[in-house]
């Protein structure tokens, strides 16, 4: 079995041309007793393609995902920050935006 660390996964994505999308993703609760997971990265695996995803399509997917996971579309400040970022650019081309707030990772000492 191959163990894949987060750093190795990011290095794989970088080698294959993936980029980070400029959306501060927060994973919804996946169970009633669970907690949201903050500070996640949305990785664009289609970087360099000419495809684009309209904000309305992203918004429908996010609403549906949160509704299915949490039972309702949230109205809290964390979700509102995510929601406003989704509609900041329309459309966001896959791979068109790199997240300027994310520092490049030094992966030189990490084994894949």
Instruction: State the Cα–Cα distance between residues 50 and 95, nearest whole angstrom.
Output: 9
Tracing tokens 């650019």 back to the chain, one arrives at: 89
Does residue 112 lie in a domain region? no
Residue 21 lies in a domain: yes
Domain that holds residue 29: 6-93
According to DSSP, the β-strands at 25-27 and 37-40 are antiparallel
Q: In this structure, is residue 14 part of a structural domain?
A: yes
pLDDT at 93 (0 to 100): 44
Q: What is the pTM of this model?
A: 0.65
For residue 56, name the pLDDT band (cuts at 50, 70, 90). Answer: confident
Nearest to 45 by CA among 65, 24, 11, 20: 20
**Looking at residue 81, what DSSP letter applies?**
H
75 domain-assigned: yes
Total domains in the fold of the chain? 1
3: region left, alpha or beta (phi > 0 left; psi from -120 to 50 alpha): beta
Query: Would the pLDDT of 72 be above 90?
Result: yes
Which is more confident, 71 or 98? 71
Report percent pLDDT > 90 for the chain: 21
Residue at 20 is within a domain:
yes
Q: CA–CA separation, 10 vs 43, rounded Å?
A: 9
Tell me if 57 is assigned to some domain. yes
């Amino acid at each position: 079995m191959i163990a894949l660390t987060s750093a190795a996964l990011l290095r794989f994505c970088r080698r294959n041309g993936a980029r980070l999308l400029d959306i501060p993703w927060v994973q919804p609760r996946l169970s009633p007793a669970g907690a949201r997971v903050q500070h996640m990265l949305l990785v664009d695996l289609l970087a360099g393609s000419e495809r684009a995803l309209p904000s309305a399509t992203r918004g429908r997917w996010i609403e549906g995902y949160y509704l299915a996971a949490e039972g309702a579309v949230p109205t809290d400040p964390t979700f509102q920050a995510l929601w406003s970022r989704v509609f900041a650019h329309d459309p966001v081309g896959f791979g068109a935006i790199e997240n300027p707030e994310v520092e490049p990772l030094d992966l030189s000492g990490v084994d894949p």
